[in-house]
Amino acid sequence: MNQAEVAKLVSKLRIKVPPQPRKLRNIQGPQGRLDKLRKTVTGLIKHERIELNSNRADEARQYAERLISEAIRHGDCHKPTMDIADYWLLEKELVHKLFKVLVPRYENFDKSYTRMHKAPRAMNTRNQEKAVLELRGNPYPSLTNKQASNRQLIQNILLDAAKYDYRQSKYLEMAEKMGKAEDKEAGTKAEAVLESNDKN
Amino acid sequence: MKRHLTHLSKTILQNSSSKTLPLSRCLSTQEAIERRHHLFTLEKKRQVESVGRIEKIEVRYKGVPKDCTLVMNKDISSPYDCARHLSEWHADSNALALIDGAVHWDMHRPLSENCTLESYSSTEPQAVNKAFWRTCSFLLGAVAARAFKEDVTVKLHSFPGPDIRSGSFIYDVELSLPAWSPAPRELITLSAELVRLCRRGAPLERLEVSEELALEMFVDNSHKAKQIPSIARTNGKVTLYRVEKHVDISKGPLVCHAAQVGRAAVAAVHRIIGNFTIISAVGRLLLDVGLPHRPPVVSVGSGLHPP
């Protein structure tokens, strides 16, 4: 089977997927790990924003992305997809949410369906790193504050004015250079005319 | 010293006539600042006491964490007090209050009616920008009034309206130094004074006073004394602001406290005419504008010495 056909079989995720699954240590072994991840994925689909340890968040995120992308790809009449949803969602009413709420929300998305933020951690502690995992398009207020594009912010006004000044000074320099070049050209032409007159 | 000043200002308040003029003319700059500060305190106390019976108003707050209604004291409680009921973050970071969705109100100005209160939206920060720039000029004046030695007479003139695109805020000051062009070290000292003033984070208090009292306060400053009648022409009131002990006239609004001005530096001093000296300063780009959110900004080198 060549590469192109694999891409058709498995939907490509829009997040970085490490080649090896992460080993989340658990007393029950691999089954315990999966149980924990199922809990997390269920929580994410239910609450749309959760805070947890960073490594478990990253691992659960991959499964949640895969689940949503499968649901979008195959819809709710596809037996294997239904099985996957049934396995990953411990609360069965969330299966309805997945197909009736999340699939319409993410159908035309060109970004990943989930988002992970680093959460703050108390200084000088040895606690694990925390993360906030959320579904995009959730109803909560935004966690980040991206205002770089807001031209009315005072920083941007000052930067724009500085850029404008810089550009004006460059234009002036260029104009001076061009003026000098023209003067030179005019000078050489005049000399040439004089020389030709002398010859005649 | 203090008792003497109290006595002096009391006599001025009682007489409020031209008898005391020669006395106050020979005050040094420092003493004039003290005197103005004292008059401001007295007037503020008088205004608070004149409220009399305390009435309640309802302030409907809209915004994070949730909408709520606060019952505040009429003519005593300010948006700052409302913010302190909400959280320390609200009190520290809000620069201006939006009253009834239209009026930009100083954080330290008492509320007089039932109203809605919103913390400032960061999507339309024009009014905050202007208030911020005005505050920068105001603080520059406070620095200029204090930074010089006792033997130099400093008369503050005024500051022009905020022009943010110019990148610099300005205060016009008359100095008794005949020809002074500051050395780089002196500029750094002025910048350091400005930064220190900002770091101390004193609140910018607002007070509306009558024309007579304003004239009494600025009796030693001929420029301000000339400006006051035209300012008071509209409603007979002059709006004063105070940061620490420095009192100055400004149309307002100004931001909540001086610490909201992040980093600023005095960049240049230009002489215009005679003994007039314009001190103009360029605000550096690291600004905590006191918006509800503080966007991170990398300080861009602009040829200035770091304050």
Output the tens digit of pLDDT for each of chain A's 200 residues: 566 677 678 888 999 999 998 888 999 999 999 999 999 999 999 999 999 999 999 999 999 999 999 999 999 999 999 999 999 999 999 999 999 999 999 999 999 999 999 988 877 888 888 999 999 999 887 888 777 788 888 878 888 888 999 999 999 999 999 999 988 888 777 776 666 666 55
Q: What is the rounded radius of gyration, in angstroms, for the C-alpha atoms of chain B?
A: 20
B140-179 pLDDT tens trace: 899 988 888 888 888 888 888 888 888 788 888 888 777 7
Would residue A180 count as lying in a domain?
A: yes
Burial of A54 (0-12, 13-18, 19+ CB in 10 A): middle
- In Å, how far is B191's CA from the nearest CA of chain A? 19
The ipTM value here is: 0.74
Q: Does B122 touch chain A (CB under 8 A)?
A: yes
Least reliable range by pLDDT among A12-16, B9-13, B82-86, B277-281:
B9-13
Q: Could you tell me if B60 and B117 are in contact, meaning their C-beta atoms sit under 8 angstroms apart? A: yes
- B129 and A157 within 8 Å at the Cβ level: the answer is yes
Find which of A140, A152, A158, A164 to mutate to test the B interface (most B CBs within 10 Å of its CB): A158
Would residue A34 count as lying in a domain?
A: yes
- B122 and A141 within 8 Å at the Cβ level: the answer is no
- A153 and B295 within 8 Å at the Cβ level: the answer is yes
Q: Which residue of A has its CA nearest to B167?
A: A158
Indicate if B64 and B207 belong to the same structural domain. no
Query: How much of chain B, in percent, has pLDDT values that exceed 70?
Result: 79
Provide the number of structural domains found in chain B: 2
Would residue B223 count as lying in a domain?
A: yes
Indicate if B146 and B276 belong to the same structural domain. yes
What is the extent of the structural domain holding A183? 146-200
The tokens describing A61, both together, are: 């995120």
Contacts of B129 in chain A (CB under 8 A): 152-154, 157
A57-116 pLDDT tens trace: 999 999 999 999 999 999 999 999 999 999 999 999 999 999 999 999 999 999 999 999
Contacts of B289 in chain A (CB under 8 A): 153-154
Domain CATH for B238: 3.30.980.10
Domain boundary among B124, B154, B173: B124
Find which of A153, A163, A166 to mutate to test the B interface (most B CBs within 10 Å of its CB): A153
From residue B2, alpha-carbon distances to A5, A126, B38, B172 in Å are: 90, 55, 10, 30
Indicate if A70 and A125 belong to the same structural domain. yes
Would residue A141 count as lying in a domain?
A: no
Looking at residue B61, its amino acid is Y
Q: Which residue of B has its CA nearest to A166?
A: B302
